[in-house]
Amino acid sequence: MYSRIVGTGSYLPVGVLTNADLEKRMETSDAWIRERTGIRRRHIAAAGETTVDMAEHAARAALDAAGCVAADIDLIVVGTCTPDVVLPNPGAMLQGRLGNRGGPAFSVEAACSGFIYALSLADKFIRSGESKRALVVGAETLSRITNPTDRSTAILFGDGAGAVVLAADDKPGVMSTHLRADGGYADLLYCTGGISKGHDPAGDHIVLAGSEVFRHAVTILGRIVDETLAANGLDRSAIDWLVPHQANIRIIQAAARKLNMPMERVIVTVEDHGNTSAASVPLALDVGVRDGRIKRGDLLLLEAFGAGFTWGAALVRY
Ligand code: UT7
């Protein structure tokens, strides 16, 4: 038994924050941001618009694309580090919104690797026979934990959501997933506050040691790509599309070089979405599917790296 992606969907909030907007707010420039990150703009949730609101839009689009209704879903897993509230969990909230009852619904917190972690969990539920059809979502409102005047982070992060419907099938589908973490690097990328540590009403925010995280990301992603190919006995030439986490165009280019892939075979959304953490991989996947680049039968390599550190990859026959 395997799981297959039978539908994808995504959602971006209407509000857009451009590099020109940021130039007015802080000591930065459009040229610097584009050259160092590849980002031109990012979408920002409206006041009152939440992670679950965006997850719901993306989930409904994925259900439509899969040709199924919410009642067909027997598992919901949401990857996010920006839940609406501490409880109920965003998976259960999404289940309530969709009017789908009874199956397990939960969230996983693995920062930018959240969607890969969620996909891996849902794949295991389906492979074990416990679930038949799963909704897997990555959704974030990073703008709520970003200091809007900090040039080391405000230029990077955006909001959005992406989703897939996974269905049981006798053919893969998801061929393998690989999840990793090294909590020894917690100090390089973190949020200043939360729940049990306490909450600063003046604004908890993400702190990023940019160039150090960058170096680790390039090395670690190179390694997970090798591990994924080796686990499947495949050469890098077998991959049709790289669908990477969208943190920085230079990190994406390094991963493509490692795979010896031309950038034409890489789905890049960082220019228009910025870094949307757990939402970035399913958002990029949906863009590639809907614009017709990713076709049924293509072999996809999904990868992500984020706070923790956490990282992971999935090899998927679409
Ligand atoms: O999604 C989870 C994983 N996250 C990542 O992987 C993010 C990884 N890191 C990065 O993407 C990059 O490190 C950044 C985009 C965050 C920063 O780029 P960088 O090329 O590593 O720049 P830097 O931090 O080494 O800074 C270079 C210079 C510094 O000035 P000096 O010391 O050379 O005079 C910074 O003060 O650029 C300056 N700088 C800026 N200048 C204009 C830093 N931020 C900005 C800015 N605008 N926004």
Specify the amino acid at residue 177: T
In short, whether 213's Cβ falls inside 6 Å of ligand 1 is: yes
CA distance 304 to 29: 27
pTM exceeds 0.85: yes
Nearest-CA neighbor of 318 among 119, 100, 106, 57? 119
What is the band of 302 on the pLDDT scale with cuts at 50, 70, 90? very high
% of the chain beyond a pLDDT of 90: 98
CA distance 266 to 252: 8
Rounded to the nearest angstrom, the distance between the alpha carbon of 132 and the centre of ligand 1 is 44
Q: 19-25: long-range contacts at Cβ-Cβ below 8 A with a sequence spacing of 24 or more?
A: 19/155, 22/151, 22/154, 22/155, 25/148, 25/149, 25/154
Structure tokens at 211: 């160039």
Rounded mean pLDDT, 256-272:
96
Rounded to the nearest angstrom, the distance between the alpha carbon of 305 and the centre of ligand 1 is 17
What is the band of 76 on the pLDDT scale with cuts at 50, 70, 90? very high
Rounded to the nearest angstrom, the distance between the alpha carbon of 6 and the centre of ligand 1 is 38
Name the residues annotated as catalytic: 112, 245, 275
> For 232-247, how does the pLDDT look when each residue is reduced to its tens digit (9 = 90+)?
999 999 999 999 999 9
Q: What is the pLDDT of residue 44?
A: 98
Q: Which atom of ligand 1 is nearest to the CA of 275?
A: 1
> Whose alpha carbon is nearest atom 46 of ligand 1?
28
> For 114-152, how does the pLDDT look when each residue is reduced to its tens digit (9 = 90+)?
999 999 999 999 999 999 999 999 999 999 999 999 999
